[in-house]
């Protein structure tokens, strides 16, 4: 599968509710229909082979999905995936294991994606995702798109996770689409809640805004070689590199430069995702293709 990026947090068990669509008298027909396209139950085999249905949204909005996630796979990514896209090749994909990426022109047009910390215990995470209550909140205010994920074990409500992807997409169209997809997972009891929001609402978390910014300056990945290398804007950061469908691997870092040696030769157009983390800094990712 495309390796398209959970800090443990105390949370109470999240109960499911019936679908609620806010339809004030001054809203147009298109807005009133948000939520109608979403199916209630969905079984997904191979990655991205099925989704909940495209919901058309525009302007500043908040769309909340609630559902039960039952993973039937063995990998971190064998769970739900949230996608926001324009229908013309540009999209954001974020996975349930705190990982994500851009596609189309959003890859290199200055769009950014920032994440919180990863799961403290992946074995516990995998157990939780076999039967978990999930609330996903997708909010857009201007160029800021925030995907907030709350996950609670149905077997043990003391085991819960919350993580946020803060995206800045300056060239996103006014009209967008949203759906939930995934890999080797069953989604059930899916409901939606939709509302328009004002431009005064802040989509970035306050904790994220207090952190310093950093960036991936360069990534080099040439076909026929076995090395991915590059540089970041700060020294001694932690760099993880995902090559195609392989699991993310930790690169060797020297100052601001990083190097990852892979076992087989890189193939042209293979997707490379670089995720950089450092205490006190906002997590950043960059996606490129092997040239």
Using one digit for the tens of pLDDT, what is the confidence trace for 13-70?
222 222 333 333 333 434 447 889 999 999 999 999 999 999 999 999 999 999 999 9
pLDDT in the model for residue 119 = 66
pLDDT in tens, 188-230: 999 999 999 987 645 444 444 578 888 998 999 999 999 999 9
Angstrom CA distances, 278 to 27, 143, 236, 241, 287, stand at 44, 25, 8, 15, 19
* Residue 5 scores a pLDDT above 80: no
d(CA 45, CA 177): 22
Task: With CA atoms as reference, report the closest residue to 78 among 223, 8, 182.
Answer: 182
How high does pLDDT run on average in the chain? 85
The average pLDDT across 121-146 equals: 95
Mean pLDDT of 181-191: 98
pLDDT, residue 8, reads 27
Higher pLDDT, 12 or 224: 224
- Residue 265: in which H helix or E strand, if any? none
> CA-CA distance, 128 to 150, in Å (whole number)?
12
Ranking 164-178, 209-223, 225-239, 257-271 by mean pLDDT, the lowest is 209-223
Mean per-residue pLDDT for 107-119? 83
Q: Is the pLDDT of residue 291 over 60?
A: yes
Q: Has residue 95 got a pLDDT over 90?
A: yes
Q: Is the pLDDT of residue 7 over 80?
A: no
What mean pLDDT is predicted for residues 3-22?
32
**pLDDT for the residue numbered 146:** 96
Give the pLDDT band of residue 117 (cuts 50, 70, 90): low
For 59-98, where are the E strands, in sequence order? 61-71, 80-85, 91-95
* Confidence (pLDDT) at 21: 37
pLDDT at 234 over 60: yes
- Distances in whole angstroms, Cα of residue 149 to Cα of each of 61, 94, 107, 161: 17, 10, 23, 8
């Amino acid at each position: 599968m495309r390796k398209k990026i959970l800090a443990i947090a105390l949370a109470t068990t999240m109960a499911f509710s019936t679908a609620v669509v806010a339809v004030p008298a001054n809203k147009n027909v298109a807005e009133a229909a948000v939520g109608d396209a979403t199916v209630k139950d969905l079984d997904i085999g191979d990655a991205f082979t099925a989704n909940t249905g495209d919901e058309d949204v525009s302007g500043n909005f908040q769309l909340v999905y609630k559902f039960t996630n039952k993973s039937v796979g063995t990998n971190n990514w064998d769970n739900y995936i949230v996608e926001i896209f324009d229908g013309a090749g540009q999209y954001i994909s974020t996975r349930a294991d705190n990982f994500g990426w851009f596609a189309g022109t959003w890859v290199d047009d200055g769009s950014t994606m920032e994440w919180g910390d990863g799961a403290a215990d992946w074995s516990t995470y995998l157990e939780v995702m076999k039967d978990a209550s999930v609330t996903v909140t997708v909010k857009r205010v201007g160029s800021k798109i925030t995907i907030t994920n709350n996950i609670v074990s149905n077997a043990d409500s003391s085991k819960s996770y919350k993580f946020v992807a803060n995206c800045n997409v300056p060239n996103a169209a006014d009209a967008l689409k949203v759906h939930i997809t995934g890999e080797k997972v069953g989604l059930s009891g899916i409901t939606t809640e939709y509302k328009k929001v004002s431009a005064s609402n802040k989509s970035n978390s306050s904790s994220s805004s207090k952190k310093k910014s950093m960036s991936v300056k360069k990534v080099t990945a040439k076909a026929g070689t076995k090395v991915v290398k590059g540089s970041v804007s700060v020294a001694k950061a932690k760099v993880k590199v995902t090559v195609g469908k392989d699991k993310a691997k930790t690169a060797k870092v020297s100052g601001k430069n990083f190097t990852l040696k892979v076992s087989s030769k890189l193939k042209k157009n293979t997707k490379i995702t670089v995720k950089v983390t450092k205490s006190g800094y906002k997590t950043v990712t960059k996606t490129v293709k092997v040239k």
